[in-house]
Amino acid sequence: MSLFSTLYLRVLQWSRHKYASYWLALVSFTESSCFLVPPDVMLAPMTLAKPEKAWFYAGLTTMSSVLGGLLGYLIGMYAFQAIEPWIVDLGYMHAYQQVEIWFEQWGFWAIFIAGFTPVPYKIFTIASGAAGMALLPFIVGSTIARGLRFFLVAGLMYWGGERLEKQLLAWIDRIGYAVITLLVAGYIIYA
């Protein structure tokens, strides 16, 4: 066994823990405003571990993520100056400025796309508050996009089941090293 397969088996073990749902909700909430780990890394193995709870997990992840997004919105609206140095230190300022341009051009669709894709959603939640995006379109776009994403992840894990779990275990090390390689290459290219 290698690094990623060992970690994968450990995450599967944790996903069966009686408090796993609470951790999933916490990670989903914090990822939308400040935390760096996307909830998919918990949602997928939890769904594989307990497929009968797939839709519950997807709903919990969606609800927690939207609530966390509201926190990000409020941070952007009321405390942007306080967190701006943090955004600069993490290297997100360019992304934040690009998001501002997207809000001006596409509004609702910018938050919708951000909620569904692996783009750092927290940047969009904070930027939408700082830019004064209307709250109702923000909530609707976030709910639809995050729901689509998390129900898709849970659905794929549910339908893939035990066969997918075995395939992931066989490929997880290659996938993990490929992702690391892409991240390092991206950093070198764009740094």
pLDDT digits (tens, 9 = 90+) for 42-92: 898 889 888 999 999 999 999 999 999 999 999 989 988 888 888 788 787
What's the domain count of the chain?
1
Structural domain contains residue 186: no
Q: Are 39 and 28 in contact (CB under 8 A)?
A: yes
Please determine, for residue 137, whether its predicted confidence score (pLDDT) is greater than 80: yes
Distance CA(96)–CA(56), nearest Å, equals 33
Quick one: pLDDT at residue 20?
87
Structural domain contains residue 152: yes
Domain containing residue 19: 14-161
Q: Are 41 and 94 in contact (CB under 8 A)?
A: no
- Identify the CA nearest to 64 among candidates 15, 116, 21: 21
Using a pLDDT cut of 70, give the percent of the chain over it: 95
CA distances from 47 to 4, 160, 165, 175 (A): 19, 10, 10, 20
Quick one: pLDDT at residue 144?
94
Structural domain contains residue 24: yes
Structural domain contains residue 77: yes
Structural domain contains residue 7: no
CA distances from 190 to 76, 90, 119, 143, 181 (A): 26, 14, 16, 32, 14
Structural domain contains residue 23: yes
Structural domain contains residue 1: no
Structural domain contains residue 32: yes
* Element containing residue 158 per DSSP (H, E): helix 135-190
pTM: 0.77
